[in-house]
Chain A
């Protein structure tokens, strides 16, 4: 049977609810409101957050101890990186790592399988905004909780910082740039779940490559040239190595500007790919059980 064309409903004669004017101001309002909600929620779990952060400190402290020991054994430096530089690198690492924890691609399976996406999809805005805003609020809690941890690590391991106002300013921008880049990249990765539920293999491959090519395991300057060349073509250094080097390294003005520019480029690429992929992905949402 051929369906006849549907009639058009007219505009209501009374003003129905719904969005007022749309624009950057309202998006900013949403981000601030959602971030405030996240802060309130995460402060309820401050003990759990602290335990989580302290648990995450173990990894950089292991790297820190290993590399400072190696540096001292090598006469004070490895590849030009001193023991104090390593300490500075891994203390900043703890903040950068926590800053770039975003909605995990592993969480997409539950969102899709349990239908949790439905609530996000019913909202008159892209669901990415909620994840960005909510996790951004969490970061505020993370930064506040990180400060005493960083102070304790500094007292214990004596980092070498050569801080300038330019580097400090660039660092503030770079950690949020890292947050955006990693959010977008992991969103793209998570969207694979719309096509297959067997996603752990590509996820594991991604995280292994990230570990090696981002500066998470070891400062990128200590990696072989070929690895550094490959890394330069990926978003990984923008999420770890660059923001850490911004504060703990010796980057000059042009290097800082270039690094921030690369982050911006990855944000634009990531956002473009999300915009391109999302309509195809969401068509596959079966909302099973949701």
Chain B
């Protein structure tokens, strides 16, 4: 890991602070067909689309925060504003004490943005050449650059790949090479937009482990969007839920589960495998599966203990388990409910 075991930094104030951030786009629209096209010659019809609608949050130093939402929710637009790629329509933001869209070099040198669907390396050259360019762009001292580069390359296990033209690498290999390039300048705040998009499970896990390690050793702040809940569960202590440009929830995964996880799954395996007890079991909760003496029930959280006790008392039970629903289910439920935080 670059710079060795650097202790977690205590910076006290937020690294990212956003207040009432809003971004709208003017989108041209017309009906299909020639008549509509001809009508559009006279007056162009546009519609204002609000991508981000008054979002406020803060991210403290060293935090890893998941930024979650369905497609078109406003996640990427927010990240683009926080990295200075987009100017907001309204609102305020500060990242590392800088207004991102002023794009001051000192600010840009302390952040990075990794986009899972975008290539920032020179396509026709080995990644090593792009890394060398990054050294000159970020004005890194050659000796520390080489040390950090080699450490990152080793940590991600791409020693053989960085000498091959980027265009010959697989998606996963390229993403790892991208991440090395994005971290060479030791950014203080990492904005990661779907960093594991399209990767196989092994590769996803490797990148997650790497990011967790980077955060642990450097104390870097990470704001991460991902559609893979495994990323979020492995990395994020806190999540922001956004939908239609509005922030629905801001809190820990535990708090999210408590809020939206209304029911738990109770799985009962009865001693009498041949018994068809689904009718009787429906009195305990919603039966979602009943087969060969095994019954799966959904039970309101506050009733789970009592229901489990009743089942054990009233039936001969071989096995009984109580599980929380998956984080995917919780988040799906949150978006379905559109609950405010």
| Interface residue ranges, A against B (CB under 8 Å) | 1, 3-4, 6-10, 12-14, 16-22, 26, 29-30, 32-34, 37, 40-41, 44-45, 115, 118-119, 121-125, 282-283, 285-287, 290
Q: Given A3-B92, A33-B135: A18 and B186 within 8 A (CB)?
A: yes
Which of A44, A118, A124, A125 has a CB less than 8 Å from the CB of B115? A118
Q: Are B19 and A9 in contact (CB under 8 A)?
A: no
How close is A247's CB to chain B, nearest CB, in angstroms?
Answer: 33
Q: Given A17-B185, A19-B106: A124 and B137 within 8 A (CB)?
A: yes
Interface centre among A30, A32, A45 (most CB of B within 10 A): A30
Q: Are A124 and B109 in contact (CB under 8 A)?
A: yes
How close is B117's CB to chain A, nearest CB, in angstroms?
Answer: 9
Cα distance A29–B137 in the bound complex, in angstroms: 9
Cα distance A37–B137 in the bound complex, in angstroms: 13
How close is A19's CB to chain B, nearest CB, in angstroms?
Answer: 4
Closest to B120 in A: A119
Q: Are B118 and A18 in contact (CB under 8 A)?
A: no
Given A20-B141, A41-B124, 18 more A-B residue pairs with CB atoms under 8 Å apart are: A6-B94, A14-B7, A14-B9, A17-B140, A18-B186, A19-B139, A22-B139, A30-B133, A34-B136, A41-B122, A44-B125, A118-B85, A119-B118, A124-B107, A124-B138, A285-B85, A286-B25, A286-B86
Q: Are B110 and A14 in contact (CB under 8 A)?
A: no
Interface centre among B17, B105, B133, B185 (most CB of A within 10 A): B133
Give the A-B contact count at a CB cut-off of 8 A. 146
Q: Write out the residue numbers on chain A whose beta carbons fall within 8 Å of the beta carbon of B111.
A: 122
How close is B168's CB to chain A, nearest CB, in angstroms?
Answer: 12
Closest to B111 in A: A122
Q: Given A9-B13, A13-B9, A17-B186: A115 and B132 within 8 A (CB)?
A: no
| Chain A contact residues, majority secondary structure | loop
Q: Which 8 A-B pairs have the closest CB atoms?
A: A17-B186, A18-B109, A124-B105, A3-B19, A33-B136, A124-B108, A9-B97, A30-B136
Q: Write out the residue numbers on chain B whose beta carbons fall within 8 Å of the beta carbon of A122.
A: 83-85, 108, 111-113, 120
Which of B14, B103, B125, B129 has a CB less than 8 Å from the CB of A7? B14
How close is A269's CB to chain B, nearest CB, in angstroms?
Answer: 24
Asked if B187 CB lies within 8 Å of chain A CBs, one says: yes
Cα distance A66–B15 in the bound complex, in angstroms: 68
Closest to A284 in B: B87
Q: Are B118 and A115 in contact (CB under 8 A)?
A: yes
Q: Are B138 and A18 in contact (CB under 8 A)?
A: yes
Q: Write out the residue numbers on chain A whose beta carbons fall within 8 Å of the beta carbon of B118.
A: 115, 118-119, 290
Q: Write out the residue numbers on chain B whose beta carbons fall within 8 Å of the beta carbon of A286.
A: 25, 86
Cα distance A4–B105 in the bound complex, in angstroms: 26
Asked if B91 CB lies within 8 Å of chain A CBs, one says: yes
Asked if B216 CB lies within 8 Å of chain A CBs, one says: no
Q: Are A21 and B139 in contact (CB under 8 A)?
A: yes
Q: Given A18-B138, A41-B124, A125-B105: A6 and B186 within 8 A (CB)?
A: no
Q: Write out the residue numbers on chain B whose beta carbons fall within 8 Å of the beta carbon of A44.
A: 124-125
Q: Write out the residue numbers on chain A whose beta carbons fall within 8 Å of the beta carbon of B188.
A: 12, 16-17
Q: Are A8 and B106 in contact (CB under 8 A)?
A: no
Cα distance A152–B125 in the bound complex, in angstroms: 32
Cα distance A16–B139 in the bound complex, in angstroms: 13
Chain A proximity mask over B180-220: 1 for CB below 8 Å, otherwise 0: 00001111100000000000000000000000000000010
How close is A95's CB to chain B, nearest CB, in angstroms?
Answer: 25
Query: Considering the complex, which residues of chain B in the window 40-82 have a beta carbon less than 8 Å from any beta carbon of chain A?
Result: 54, 56, 61, 80
Which of A18, A29, A119, A290 has a CB less than 8 Å from the CB of B136? A29
Which of A8, A9, A13, A287 has a CB less than 8 Å from the CB of B85? A287
Between-chain CB contacts (< 8 Å), 5 pairs: A13-B11, A16-B186, A19-B105, A19-B138, A33-B135
How close is A161's CB to chain B, nearest CB, in angstroms?
Answer: 38
Asked if B255 CB lies within 8 Å of chain A CBs, one says: no
Asked if B20 CB lies within 8 Å of chain A CBs, one says: yes
Cα distance A115–B119 in the bound complex, in angstroms: 11
Cα distance A34–B131 in the bound complex, in angstroms: 11
